[in-house]
Amino acid sequence: MELTRRALLALMGAGGAGALAGCAGQLPEPDVTAAGFGEEASGVVRVWTRGATVEGMSGVVDAFHASQDRIRVELTPVLDGQYVTKLATAIRGREVPDLVDIDDINAMLFIYRDVFTDLTPLVEQLEFRDQLSPAHLGLATVDDRVYGVPFLADVSMLWGNAELLDRAGVDIAGLDSLEAAVEAAAAVSALGADVHGWSTAGNNPGILGFTVQPHTWATGARILEGDVGSQIGDLVGNEGLRGTLEAFRSMWEAGSMPPGNFSDTGAAWGADFRAGSVGLLPCNYISGVLEGDEAHRERTTVRLLPGPGGGSAFFAGGDNLCMPRGARNPSAAWELVRFALGVEQQEGLPDLGFIPIRGDAATDRYREEHPLAVLPLEQITQGYAPRTLSYNLLFNQSDSPYMAMFREAVFGRGVEPAVEAAQAEFDRILEQAQR
């Protein structure tokens, strides 16, 4: 179950915002400015990690144990669909882990209610502070105070089959606008009936939000406007959004997308691309690269997602590390955090399907071993993800208005009615969630 802000308040035993603030205040905030904090700590650190990214944290924990013998980590994987619920329950019961490896989008639900530790002094002392992904860091920041640090990135990019693109006379580096990508998709589709230029999971809300939104962001437009807690949807009259949806509808109508995209739930996301029958696929590193064989990797190329009229962007998904108030061993937890952010740990993330969150992790060795994972580090400022309390309701759920809008715009009556209906639903959801 995904939680709205209202459900989160109720689960934490709050009759309203004030009651929740009181509950959170009963849990002491660790003194991160204490002398020696994060140095030569010992004991057990209890860490919760997402089921979807457990391999990333497991690898770090193994390396951390091998590097020292003072601290032991108890790692607890939590299913993504249960994470918010379980963490809220733990906070209410005042039995919290020392560190949470949380979906960066969901962190704001807890930061907004002041149940995470203010890590600002610690983050400011990091010698690599300026190398951290600004998008991920932004999802852990409120009023210039930082309540978490980026750990790993799961980003959306545009992957290309170089062999098909070459046959179609397309250079992926030249796809500097979504319009150019649409033309390229048509050129690839013209190679034969068994080939398509573009593919997407058209019936999966999470994938659509992850891969389609960046086209709009690339223009500088945003779908949500305003500060957290007082946001509005910006859909009607949003030219970046309109251009994005029109591009997808044109590809669908032209036959540049496989017919199966209409019902594709993402169960085999990217399988057609890895099989060599699709020219362009927006997806993450796991589906675009890691799950393919050596032959697939050799013919794969990549660029960021282009916008209508130009620009580029990627969805800055992944995990942030946050320390709940009431953590029993916060000093040792921060030692683990610093270790996890080290270049040596970050360099190995692509082997597990993830991207580092430090720009300077793109060392010479990294570039040689992971050439297809370099671009989001070189253009790390192009990443973005919306700060909101209502992401799951707006984008991730099967009845989300963003998915309904995409399907109506691309497969149904068209862009105009789809956007108007979505605007009304965005307004309704945001108004209810922000009461």
Task: Check whether residue 78 and residue 167 sit in a common domain.
Answer: no
Mean pLDDT of 356-369: 97
User: Tell me, what's the pLDDT at 26?
Assistant: 74
**Residue 2: per-residue pLDDT:** 41
pLDDT band of 252, cuts 50, 70, 90 = very high
Q: How confident is the model at residue 10 (pLDDT cuts 50, 70, 90)?
A: very low
Determine, yes or no, domain membership for 236.
Answer: yes
Q: What's the pLDDT band for 435 if we cut at 50, 70, 90?
A: confident
pLDDT digit string (tens) for 298-331? 999 999 999 999 999 999 999 999 999 999 999 9
Quick one: how far is CA 435 from the chain centroid? 26
Q: Which domain holds residue 189?
A: 157-283+390-433
- Per-residue pLDDT tens over the stretch 200-223: 999 999 999 999 999 999 999 999
The confidence score (pLDDT) of residue 345 equals 97
Contact 346, 172 (CB under 8 A): no
Tell me if 311 is assigned to some domain: no
Which pLDDT score is estimated for 7? 46
pLDDT of 267 above 70: yes
Cα–Cα distances in angstroms (integers) from residue 431 to residues 210, 378, 405, in the given order: 24, 38, 19
Please enumerate in sequence order all residues whose Cβ is within 8 A of that of 267, keeping only pairs 6 or more positions apart, or say none: none
Q: Is residue 352 part of a domain?
A: yes
Report strand pairing: 196-198 vs 149-155.
Answer: unpaired
Q: Which residues contact 297 (CB under 8 A, 6 or more apart)?
A: 289, 372
In a domain, 310, yes or no: no
> Of 352, 379, 406, which residue constitutes the final position of a domain?
379
Percent over 90 (pLDDT), the chain: 93
Count of domains forming the chain: 2
Report which of 254, 183, 228, 162 is spatially closest to residue 387, judged by C-alpha positions.
Answer: 228
Question: 261 with 405, same domain?
Answer: yes
Q: Quick one: 350 and 273 in the same domain? A: no
Residue 90 sits in the same domain as residue 208: no
Q: Are residues 73 and 32 in the same domain?
A: yes
369-427, pLDDT tens digit by residue?
Answer: 999 999 999 999 999 999 999 999 999 999 999 999 999 999 999 999 999 999 999 99
The stretch 234-244 carries a mean pLDDT of 98
Same-domain status, 249 and 398: yes
- The model's confidence at residue 18, banded by pLDDT at 50, 70 and 90, is very low
Whether the per-residue pLDDT at 257 is higher than 50: the answer is yes
CB 201, CB 284: distance < 8 Å: no
Cβ atoms of 433 and 243 within 8 Å: the answer is no
Percentage of the chain modeled with pLDDT above 70: 94
Q: Does 124 lie in the same domain as 17?
A: yes
pLDDT above 60 for 336: yes
Q: Is the pLDDT of residue 6 over 60?
A: no
Q: What is the chain's mean pLDDT, rounded?
A: 94
Query: Are 144 and 232 within one domain?
Result: no
* The model scores a pTM over 0.75: yes
Give the per-residue pLDDT at 78: 98
Could you tell me if 167 and 146 lie in one domain?
no
State residue 12's pLDDT score: 39
pLDDT at 317: 97
In a domain, 291, yes or no: no
Q: How high is the pLDDT of residue 17?
A: 35
Q: Are residues 364 and 416 in the same domain?
A: no
Q: 247 and 394: one domain?
A: yes
Q: What is the pLDDT of residue 396?
A: 95
Q: What is the pLDDT of residue 19?
A: 32
Nearest one of 90, 105, 102, 119 to 30, comparing CA atoms: 119
Q: Strand, helix or coil at 290?
A: helix
Q: Answer yes or no: is 332 within a domain.
A: yes
Q: Is the pLDDT of residue 364 over 80?
A: yes
Asked if the structure places residue 303 within a domain, the reply is no
**Using one digit for the tens of pLDDT, what is the confidence trace for 44-60?**
999 999 999 999 999 99
Lowest mean per-residue pLDDT among 4-13, 39-48, 355-364, 420-429 = 4-13
- The predicted pLDDT at position 238 comes to 98
Report yes or no on 122 lying in a domain. yes
- Mean pLDDT, range 179-183, rounded to an integer: 98
- Specify the pLDDT at position 331: 98
Please indicate, yes or no, whether residues 216 and 328 belong to a single structural domain of this protein. Answer: no
pLDDT of residue 246: 98
Q: 404: domain CATH number? A: 3.40.190.10
Name 326's Cβ contacts closer than 8 Å, sequence gap at least 6. 27, 28, 91, 94, 96
Residues 363 and 344: their CA atoms lie apart, in Å, by 10
Residues 308 and 326: their CA atoms lie apart, in Å, by 47
